[in-house]
A = this chain, B = another copy of it.
Amino acid sequence: MTTPLSTPDPAARALLLDAVHFDAHGLVTVVAQQHDTGEVLMVAWMNRAALAETLATGRVTYWSRSRQELWRKGDTSGQVQKLVDIRLDCDGDTLLALVDQAGVACHTGRHNCFYRALRSNQLVALTEPEVDPKVLYGPKVLYGT
């Protein structure tokens, strides 16, 4: 095993692209995990073009289902994800992206998106925003998985 390549060569990229089972909408589920701490940051979706761009650039790019466009994570907010490694699951319908997250992953300004949980029989926020979303996105928040 050699060191993972964040930008493997075109033939290798094609091997991975062809192994993914994109769903009826042409999408694959992607879990983004901080590579060194193991924190699960977010879940989003890629189409083939988004995965191809991610592999070619080493910069994680999703498909925004709400905006119906490529979503180069951090283009608006500056909170980019650098790809460290990417893993495909047993049945080919989910990817695990090991990333290096700049700043915060969540559009609410929290470090990760999984902050709601049951405590004392209430659904509460376990963490607070580290950054005001208006600072990340301006007054009109444009984001979306």
Contact = CB atoms under 8 A, between A and B. Distances in A.
A91 interface: yes
A116 B94 CA distance: 11
| Residue among A5, A90, A96 with the highest chain B CB neighbour number at 10 A | A90
Q: How many copies does the complex hold?
A: 2
Interface residues of A, number: 50
Interface stretch (A36-44, A46-54, A74-82): A36-44
A57 interface: no
Interface of A: 1-2, 4-5, 8-9, 11-13, 15-16, 19, 29, 31, 33, 37-40, 42-43, 85-91, 93-94, 96, 106-108, 110, 113-124, 126, 144-145
